[in-house]
Structure 1
Amino acid sequence: MLKVKFVPQNIELEVAEGENLLEAARKAEIFIDAPCNGNSVCGKCKVKIVDGKVHTEKSRHIKDDECNEGYVLACCSKVTEDIIVEIPSNAGSAMHGMKIEDLSGEREQLIFEKAKSQALENGMEFKTYVRKDYIELDPPTLDDNISDFERIKRHLRTNLGYNQVFCRLPLLRKIPPILREANFKVTITHIPRGEGKTTIIRMEVGDSTNKLYGIALDIGTTSVAACLVNLQEGKLVAKASSGNAQIKYGADVINRIMYSTKRNGLEDLNNAIIKETINPLLDKMYRDSGIGRDDVVSFIAAGNTTMSHLFLGIYPDYLRMEPYIPAFVKAPFIKASELGININSETFIYLVPSVASYVGGDITAGVLSSGLWNSTENILFIDLGTNGEIVFGNREFLMTCACSAGPAFEGGEISCGMRAAGGAVEGIRINKENYEPAISVIGNEKPLGICGSGIIDLICELMLAGIIDRRGKLVKGLNTSRVRFDEHGIGEYVLVFKEHYGLEKDITITEVDIDNFIRAKGAIYSGLTTLLNSLGMDFTMIDKIYIAGGIGNSLDIENSIKIGMLPDIEREKISYIGNSSLMGCYLTLMSEDARHKLEDVGNQMTYVELSVEPAYMDEFVSACFLPHTDIEKFPTVKEILG
């Protein structure tokens, strides 16, 4: 056995000779960003060997000077002797300090209130399915000596009209001591089910009818956001968000599905989302609010179809193989104790129904909160995250599809890309005279990389300044040190010189990066076009476009149109609607009507599989240009470019 020591964590473990270094880090619970899941594609798992040697493969992601300093890609390296490995200081930025959409800002609160108002206008009653009742029972006597549970059932039948009352064994065990401690004056938390039926899930001493809480949770591929809600008042008590710990097993759903097929892979992914992500978020909200986990008696979660499978620990591999069949689209109610979630163990988990393999419950919840399902206007709903999902329709019809945009919008597949965390460049302007950039950085921190919104700005500004052509290729012969070419003739633009901020390397965007992003934006635009064409419609027939997803908060709509990601239509038709998945979960948490409508919405959506649409590939190829091969589709951009 060989020894591997990771610094600065000072964690050491023994591995077999030939062990992959990335896998060794995972065993040691050392976070190394690996968006491509160790396929040698992204170049993000860069580490430094400070003592000893490894057998490593040469990679275009490791420059000669970095190689001389001991840098290797962990995924391409095998342990052949005792080594000490230095993990870069910014390696954890993929997980920690992420700029994630929540409901705290003024803009988000307005979106939140609009969603609530819209639900009320559409006739939804805000009344949660969980009930709390304070009851005073007659203590047992020799003359009235029925069992404790029968005594409870008798009271509920006589006073509340429930003819059938149920509870599970864990609660039944608690009933005798609680009743006697409370002198038979208790509060029951129960869930009515059908005519005259209810299930008791909790019993407390005395009157605690004012303590009724639920969790709304959005399980994103990249990030997870949660709200703790007072179910009686509908108020947000606390909120929390973080990166999805599954990131260490790949940035996108395909890489995670592939990882799930490995030994213990599915268990690793399930633990990552529940034990390493969701439970810490819940614990943080409990600390912030002073509320106990047993007070949480309702839980609504939404995620894409892959995330839903991994959340429940269900093998997802058939999602990626034709004919792309999920194990389920509507999951049964599940007890929190079955998943190990840190809420009242008797609480039922409700997972928002999916539509198809690549259109999940997050989209169903988003359509619910957007009001699209009851609109008389033609609305295009676009969720821009790690995956790109689209819904088009109104109260008469709902069509949906998913675009294989990949992780570029989250900074994946981009050499200096990163997720929206502190230090990410999120806004860029370039002086057209001297080609010098002005940048805005999340948190006003030292720049570390470029996030999705920054990449859109950068590509747009490079095009407008004449630094790249419409194919995305850098123009040679410009009078600037910011454009340079390597020995293979591949160009790059230097956004930040390392000397200006004391960085380990320059922050650049290469022609390969630009090409990757053009394909991602092309997937979105061609998906929009194909979906509309399948209905015999075009962009002139759209009344509104709603943008949802993490990138939308910082998205420059104008620049998104100029690079050809969004259609060239009236800008006032386009608006950002926040974390629509989390909003939909909140509405479902607060309203039984919303839950029923949510399921109706899922059933109403017709899924279009783009890969079998004859025109899709032609549309995609045409969209892989700036802004498009047919400039007439972008008249305002044509005017700017001359």
Structure 2
Amino acid sequence: MPDDRLVIFSPAGRRGRFAAGKTVRDAALALGVDLDSVCGGVGLCGRCQINVDSSQAQRLSPWNEVEERYHTRRPMRPGHRLACQAVIEGDVTVSVPPEFQVHRPVVRKESLYRDITLDCDVRACFVTMPATKPHDADRLVRALQDKWGLGELTIDADTPLRLSPALDEGDGSLTAIVRKEHEIIDVRPGFAPDLYGVTADIGSTTLALQLVDMASGDVVASLGAVNPQIRFGDDIMSRLSFLLAHKDGGAQLTSAVHHALNALILQATQHAAIDPRCICEAVVVGNPVMHHLFFGLDAAGLATAPFSLATEGPVVRRAADLGLTMLPAAEIYAPPAFGAHVGADAAAAVLAEAPHRGGAVRLLIDVGTNAEIVLSDGRRVLAASSPTGPAFEGAQISSGQRAAPGAIERVRIDPLTLEPRFKVIGCDVWSDDSGFNTAVTGICGSGIVEALVEMARTGILRADGSILGEAAQRTSRVVADGPVWAYIMHRQGERDIRITQQDVRAIQLAKAALQAGARLLMDRLGCAAVDEIYLAGGFGSQIDPSYALDLGMLPPCRVENVHGVGNAAGVGARIALLNQQSRAELLQLAARVEKIETALEPDFQHHFVNAMTIPAAVIATIGQGRTRRRGRNAPRGRT
């Protein structure tokens, strides 16, 4: 339209015309521009910053109150705007700085080794057929029945078209790929028995894909990527809000994850030097929202009470129907969900770690943007989810970032001087070692957890999470931050890495939600403590268990019985890929699980409030060169 404004994005080179009144973020989403966003476009995260040349500044709406509020908290560079707040008023060229583009994380969700009995759904059957006779499907069926003892067979619609070329190229021999002993899904020239499968763990933040040799069960390629849906909102509720607010919101979210998964499949097959058509089956796991969006199911019922699934059972689709880059007839399977907020990923994690086997009380937690929690004493199995939010992933933290090179991941604070030392991802030495020369870019989830515990141990934090202003008398690292205080972890000019009061609150909210969800299940089971805790997912595997316990993220448990178990959902997905009987076990588990909706439970709020504080056991003050417990009459400082 003549009245539309031309918007050009650099360095992506994407351009399009948009009506005046649209935000720059709206335009970026429409054009598929790689622009980060973790708050769903409400101006909280500051991740959608863009840059506009001063000569074109007037072609966007004036700086608004939301931007001013964010700028007051964390100053933006000159020329930077929040794309979610900047409204298009004229033709404009917008630059997206590298640090505000969505990048692939370094930490991959690595599956641990598990013994799996191979019992695959597909098999390769080699046959020869005389070239002097017509090459029809009936003759192939008879050859397979005669040589392989198969019964009634059907043929996928696309397979007959490949039959004659395969026989010609194979000099009268071919390999038929047969599923469930009764369906021919592909033919290949000559002897070509390679069978591969894919598992995909679709997390709110991260996609983890494995290419699996179905003959050996070996993982031949393991790749990860940021879930591109993150540009529509960092957590599941913001993505549901996007879906409800846009007529084609669901289609956009589905298309984004399909495109990213296809890119990973292509990388994996190139790494393994195989044809993508060799992928004959896939298992996909994820929380209910990710699951529904992947399969194109209606996810609107998950947005509000009573929180209903479009389907509770397993989902099976053909790869061709989803547009996935593999054998078109490949079957895409997702396990049944345990509940409206405890999905196929939790089911797969239970399959892998088996907390329900034996008589011990075991707690399995997949720590992510939305934590999924399963508790069992061997007789009963209870499951719930808890809205921890993205703080453990580094979002909602002033200097936060995802786990990547340069991110602080380990923290220690001297109890006398209050000086910090830390380790960053990608560097083997601590910051106070002579060989440390690594650029520090931010702090990730495990780092912020350790920082808070260390601040509590050294008297910088009170039990209620307030940063103590009195500590400023002992160190220049505690500084005023408006009406409250902040702790400077690393000085680097205008972009210090610091822990603010708001950062502390974000982690308190996240850890309280996690603890409250676990406590709710423990109440239902009638136990005061657990024997073992399994922490799954990328963050759960990276965090130091002792710090997680000290911060009050977890219920009481011996520290040696807290285990990081890697990508348990991915392990369970591989079991479901390679062993058909495990799928029957998943159905039985889903029927057995007692589902608890935390949003509908009054006791959840009670546990949540109680879990907000920092445990008294780690709170201390510093005085006269020694560490002592805080007394109830100790000075409270500025708050």
1:516 is aligned to 506
Q: Is the 8 A contact 1:411 1:417 kept in 2?
A: yes
1:302 aligns with 2:285: yes
Q: 1:336 aligns with which of 319, 324, 329?
A: 319
How many residues get paired?
602
User: How far apart are 1:369 and its partner, in Å?
Assistant: 0.5
Structure 2 counterpart of 1:58, which letter?
E
1:397 is aligned to 380
1:216 aligns with 2:199: yes
Structure 1 residues 594 and 639, CA gap change in structure 2 (3 angstroms): farther
Q: For the residues of structure 1 that align with 2:243 and 2:278, how far apart are their CA atoms? A: 34
Q: 2:444 aligns with which of 425, 448, 451?
A: 451
User: How far apart are 1:298 and its partner, in Å?
Assistant: 1.5
Structure 2 counterpart of 1:267, which letter?
A
Q: Is the 8 A contact 2:486 2:501 kept in 1?
A: yes
Q: Is the 8 A contact 1:464 1:641 kept in 2?
A: no
SS in 1 for 2:28: helix
2:109 is aligned to 101
Structure 1 counterpart of 2:325, which letter?
N
1:79 aligns with 2:71: no
2:185 is aligned to 201
User: How far apart are 1:27 and its partner, in Å?
Assistant: 2.8
2:462 is aligned to 469
User: Considering only aligned residues, what root-mean-square deviation do their CA atoms show, in Å?
Assistant: 2.3
SS in 2 for 1:530: helix
User: How far apart are 1:603 and its partner, in Å?
Assistant: 2.1
SS in 1 for 2:110: coil
User: How far apart are 1:283 and its partner, in Å?
Assistant: 0.8
User: How far apart are 1:66 and its partner, in Å?
Assistant: 4.2
Q: For the residues of structure 1 that align with 2:399 and 2:565, how far apart are their CA atoms? A: 29
Cα deviation 1:79-99 (Å, max 9, x = unaligned): 12333433232123x432431
Mapping 1:288-437, distance limit 5 Å: 288-437=271-420
2:431 is aligned to none
Q: Is the 8 A contact 1:407 1:413 kept in 2?
A: yes
Cα deviation 1:23-45 (Å, max 9, x = unaligned): 12223332222111102222322
User: How far apart are 1:434 and its partner, in Å?
Assistant: 2.3
1:545 is aligned to 533
SS in 1 for 2:240: helix
1:442 aligns with 2:425: yes
1:30 aligns with 2:33: yes
Structure 2 counterpart of 1:137, which letter?
M
Structure 2 counterpart of 1:99, which letter?
V
Cα deviation 1:221-265 (Å, max 9, x = unaligned): 111111111111111111111111111111111111111221321
SS in 1 for 2:158: helix
Q: For the residues of structure 1 that align with 2:585 and 2:478, how far apart are their CA atoms? A: 54
Q: 2:486 aligns with which of 492, 511, 520?
A: 492
Q: For the residues of structure 2 that align with 1:58 and 1:173, how far apart are their CA atoms? A: 63
Which moved further from structure 2: 132-141 or 375-384? 132-141
SS in 2 for 1:90: helix
Q: For the residues of structure 2 that align with 1:65 and 1:409, how far apart are their CA atoms? A: 20
SS in 2 for 1:518: helix
2:43 is aligned to 40
Q: Is the 8 A contact 2:320 2:329 kept in 1?
A: yes
Structure 1 residues 48 and 481, CA gap change in structure 2 (3 angstroms): farther
Q: For the residues of structure 2 that align with 1:67 and 1:392, how far apart are their CA atoms? A: 45
TM-score normalised to the size of structure 1?
0.89
Q: For the residues of structure 1 that align with 2:319 and 2:392, how far apart are their CA atoms? A: 33
Q: Is the 8 A contact 1:100 1:420 kept in 2?
A: no
Q: For the residues of structure 2 that align with 1:301 and 1:21, how far apart are their CA atoms? A: 34
1:172 is aligned to 160
1:58 aligns with 2:58: no
1:268 is aligned to 252
Mapping 1:572-591, distance limit 5 Å: 572-591=560-579
- Structure 1 gaps of 5+ residues are 104-111, 120-124, 632-637
Structure 1 counterpart of 2:126, which letter?
Y
Q: Is the 8 A contact 2:196 2:280 kept in 1?
A: yes
Structure 1 residues 67 and 452, CA gap change in structure 2 (3 angstroms): closer
Q: For the residues of structure 2 that align with 1:411 and 1:530, how far apart are their CA atoms? A: 26
Q: Is the 8 A contact 2:127 2:147 kept in 1?
A: no
Q: For the residues of structure 2 that align with 1:9 and 1:73, how far apart are their CA atoms? A: 18
2:226 is aligned to 243
Q: Is the 8 A contact 1:623 1:629 kept in 2?
A: no
Q: Percent identity?
A: 28
User: How far apart are 1:137 and its partner, in Å?
Assistant: 2.6
Q: For the residues of structure 2 that align with 1:486 and 1:216, how far apart are their CA atoms? A: 47
Q: Is the 8 A contact 1:564 1:628 kept in 2?
A: no
Structure 1 residues 36 and 512, CA gap change in structure 2 (3 angstroms): same
Q: Is the 8 A contact 1:62 1:72 kept in 2?
A: no
User: How far apart are 1:344 and its partner, in Å?
Assistant: 0.8
Q: 2:122 aligns with which of 130, 133, 136?
A: 130
Q: For the residues of structure 2 that align with 1:175 and 1:428, how far apart are their CA atoms? A: 62
Q: For the residues of structure 2 that align with 1:75 and 1:407, how far apart are their CA atoms? A: 19
Structure 2 counterpart of 1:351, which letter?
A
Q: 1:70 aligns with which of 79, 85, 94?
A: 79
User: How far apart are 1:598 and its partner, in Å?
Assistant: 2.2
User: How far apart are 1:422 and its partner, in Å?
Assistant: 2.2
SS in 1 for 2:34: coil
SS in 2 for 1:14: strand
Q: For the residues of structure 2 that align with 1:375 and 1:537, how far apart are their CA atoms? A: 16
SS in 2 for 1:391: strand
Q: For the residues of structure 2 that align with 1:628 and 1:618, how far apart are their CA atoms? A: 19
User: How far apart are 1:420 and its partner, in Å?
Assistant: 1.3
1:4 is aligned to 7
Structure 2 counterpart of 1:485, which letter?
A
User: How far apart are 1:178 and its partner, in Å?
Assistant: 2.2
User: How far apart are 1:425 and its partner, in Å?
Assistant: 1.5
Q: For the residues of structure 2 that align with 1:68 and 1:397, how far apart are their CA atoms? A: 55
Q: For the residues of structure 2 that align with 1:199 and 1:259, how far apart are their CA atoms? A: 40
1:189 aligns with 2:177: yes
- Structure 2 gaps of 5+ residues are 428-437, 620-626, 632-639
1:611 aligns with 2:594: no
Q: For the residues of structure 2 that align with 1:497 and 1:82, how far apart are their CA atoms? A: 40
Q: For the residues of structure 1 that align with 2:177 and 2:13, how far apart are their CA atoms? A: 48
Q: For the residues of structure 2 that align with 1:182 and 1:554, how far apart are their CA atoms? A: 50
Q: For the residues of structure 2 that align with 1:448 and 1:264, how far apart are their CA atoms? A: 36
Q: Is the 8 A contact 1:522 1:620 kept in 2?
A: yes
Structure 2 counterpart of 1:188, which letter?
A
Q: Is the 8 A contact 2:125 2:148 kept in 1?
A: no
Q: For the residues of structure 2 that align with 1:533 and 1:419, how far apart are their CA atoms? A: 34
Structure 1 counterpart of 2:468, which letter?
V
SS in 2 for 1:269: helix
2:268 is aligned to 285
Q: Is the 8 A contact 2:349 2:572 kept in 1?
A: yes
Cα deviation 1:290-343 (Å, max 9, x = unaligned): 011011111111111111111011221110211100101224421100001111
2:497 is aligned to 507
Cα deviation 1:1-54 (Å, max 9, x = unaligned): 333333444544433222201112223332222111102222322223323222
SS in 1 for 2:610: helix
Structure 1 counterpart of 2:450, which letter?
D
Q: For the residues of structure 1 that align with 2:353 and 2:460, how far apart are their CA atoms? A: 39
Q: Is the 8 A contact 2:108 2:208 kept in 1?
A: yes
Q: 1:621 aligns with which of 601, 609, 622?
A: 609
Q: Is the 8 A contact 1:99 1:422 kept in 2?
A: no
